[in-house]
Structure 1
């Protein structure tokens, strides 16, 4: 997959089959659009082009809203789109100027002149241009003028999947990991660099790798213990992850830690991925470290049962 970080970097390709959107999560609903895109490209001898935006439009248009968290970082989204089989990914910077384009200007300058769209594949509710004034009707009116066709993914087709990025975000924030994964079509994951902690887990016999996630917009699930698999380079390990403020030791910051089973290598400053498979329990304050240690023993039993069932 070719990646372009601005519209100006992209050079039109033959029979470009184009879709547009944020595609946060690259979930099953998104994949329905992507599969249609690929089928159209194959039928016309064309290439698939996906136009997405970063920062997320709400980050620019509603900067006071600090509650927006995204399922994927932009790099994770690109990786998932590549796995889905997209030929060309354009990540264009979203700005107020970009959002203020009139609908006809957006069609002419972006879709026609810069991308060279021959086929557009869009969801039934796709909106664009200043005040979201543009939609399917505007695209269908412009299609014969500029020589492209419009393929709409109907509301019925999308609703058959019954999934949205918002539903997935809410599921993760409510610790409903299995529900989120069913909507995503893959295990939700967090990618982060291993940093030094205060070694409390090591004292308890459950050493943990502390993860630092630099992207503050990345969604982190509800506090608690999770059954995870941990990817380090090309190897995968089972483990139990903890998210929370460590109330038993009166912790002040929210941590992401993982105890990797049957593993004792030094991985400080390495980037690892946690794949979340099951929620085990909520975070609670224990009456001392011994009680916490005892619970961690039970947690490990529960995690292994869940991962190997």
Structure 2
């Protein structure tokens, strides 16, 4: 998979099948778009192209006043694009000046005369350009003028839940990890570096890897206890994760993300690890004594082992 980061790098090819967007989460609806882009490119012996943006447009348009919570970092999105067989990813640096381009200016400069285009595939509600002025009807009209086809994918739902990035964010905030994962089509994941903590877990018999997330903009699921898989040095392990403020110890100002890794005894400070969130098992609790906390952690471990030993990954 080729990655371009400037218009000067882009190699023009009229036989390009393109989709444009943030693809935050690369959820099931995004996956259908990726499959369609790849299939259409194969049919015309062309190339499949994703055009995306970094940083997130809302971060620039809001002047930094709007909190950004990403389901996927850029690296995570690139992983999925390659997995689904995309040939080319063009990452456009999103700046304020770029945000002032009209819909037509963007398409003419970056797509029609830049990447080259034979077909465009988008979600049903795709909008683009200054103040989101361009929608599917405008793309269809541009396609008629400049000789490329346009396909709008239908709205996808899982029961009553719309498959969208905003739906998934809300579910993760509410603690409904199971439905969030189902809509994603895979288990919600994050990557981070193992850093030194207070060392309390080890003293209690449950040593933890304290994780500083790769991106401060990555959405952290609702505070609580989770059954997880954790990738350490190319090997997956089972574990239980606590996201919270350690109220039993009074750490009310410092949210931590810690994983107790089962059957594991290695020094992994400064290692980069990936956590795959399987199931949320309970809320964070404040205990009246450390002994009560340790007893609950023992119950948590038994429950977590049962969950993980019978769990089948969603997207293998």
TM-score range (shorter-chain normalised) is over 0.9
What's the counterpart of residue 177 of structure 2? Answer: 177
For structure 2, the 5+ residue unaligned runs are 311-316
For structure 1, the 5+ residue unaligned runs are none
**Larger mean Cα displacement after TM superposition, 62-71 or 271-280:** 62-71
- The structure-2 alpha-carbon separation of the partners of 1:304 and 1:248, relative to structure 1 and needing over 3 Å to count, comes to same
Distance (Å, rounded) in 1 between the aligned partners of 2:261 and 2:183 = 27
Q: Quote how far apart the aligned CAs of 1:160 are.
A: 6.9
Report the TM-score when normalising by structure 2.
0.93
Distance (Å, rounded) in 2 between the aligned partners of 1:154 and 1:262 = 46
Whether the 8 Å CA contact 1:26–1:80 is kept in 2: the answer is yes
Distance (Å, rounded) in 2 between the aligned partners of 1:142 and 1:192 = 43
Q: Quote how far apart the aligned CAs of 1:107 are.
A: 1.6
Whether the 8 Å CA contact 1:49–1:86 is kept in 2: the answer is yes
Q: Quote how far apart the aligned CAs of 1:130 are.
A: 1.4
Q: Quote how far apart the aligned CAs of 1:150 are.
A: 1.3
Q: Quote how far apart the aligned CAs of 1:147 are.
A: 2.5
1:193 aligns with 2:193: yes
What's the counterpart of residue 227 of structure 1? Answer: 227
What's the counterpart of residue 23 of structure 1? Answer: 23
4+ aligned runs moved over 4 Å, structure 1? none
What's the counterpart of residue 166 of structure 1? Answer: 166
Tell me, what secondary structure is at the counterpart of 1:117?
coil
What's the counterpart of residue 300 of structure 1? Answer: 301
Whether the 8 Å CA contact 1:3–1:88 is kept in 2: the answer is yes
**Larger mean Cα displacement after TM superposition, 211-220 or 255-264:** 211-220
Q: Quote how far apart the aligned CAs of 1:32 are.
A: 1.1
Distance (Å, rounded) in 1 between the aligned partners of 2:23 and 2:296 = 39
Q: Provide the aligned length of Structure 1 versus Structure 2.
A: 307
**Larger mean Cα displacement after TM superposition, 209-218 or 242-251:** 209-218
**Within 5 Å, which residues of 2 pair with 1:1-309?**
1-13=1-13, 15-63=15-63, 65-155=65-155, 158-159=156-157, 162-251=162-251, 252-309=253-310
Whether the 8 Å CA contact 1:14–1:47 is kept in 2: the answer is no
Distance (Å, rounded) in 2 between the aligned partners of 1:2 and 1:81 = 11
Deviations 1:244-287 (A, max 9, x none): 01111111310000000000011111100110000011111111
Tell me, what secondary structure is at the counterpart of 2:118?
strand
Q: Quote how far apart the aligned CAs of 1:185 are.
A: 0.7
What's the counterpart of residue 314 of structure 2? Answer: none
Whether the 8 Å CA contact 2:189–2:275 is kept in 1: the answer is yes
**Larger mean Cα displacement after TM superposition, 274-283 or 65-74:** 65-74
Whether the 8 Å CA contact 1:230–1:273 is kept in 2: the answer is yes
